Structure 1
Amino acid sequence: MWTRATDLSGVRWRTSSYTNGGSDPQCVELACLDDGGAIRDSKNPSGPALIFPTRAFRAFIAYAGHGDSDRA
């Protein structure tokens, strides 16, 4: 099931400290929501965002936080 979020303007977006002031061309921003989380491309903040339920968002944060995402 697809859900379209129309207004995320009130959420606080966070960018990784590894982005070097926004110069990293492959950076994303994260936002915590009441019922999950959102991810968007930092180069296109007015573009679409992926929204996840709480459990999936926490799993993503845990996965990314362990450095496993560097493995190809």
Structure 2
Amino acid sequence: WECCPRDWLWFKGSCYHFSRDQKNWKSSRDACNFTGSHLVAITSKEEQDFIARNLDTVYWIGLSDQVKENDWRWEDGTP
């Protein structure tokens, strides 16, 4: 069953939006949060391949070392 907002792509039960807006990481994260979504946390090779197939430029993902330098975590806190 597939039901995503206009201009979003469905993959394995989730909707993905590849924004054309040029923002820094924090602004991108905030824009996602404002719409009730989040920067992607890649959890499988299959998901990574789906994302790679749909890229035509550079995009931010939900991985950062904002809390502690060189301690990379997904937005949900997982390493």
Same fold, judged at TM 0.5 (above):
no
TM-score (norm 1): 0.29
Higher share of residues assigned strand: 1
TM-score (norm 2): 0.27
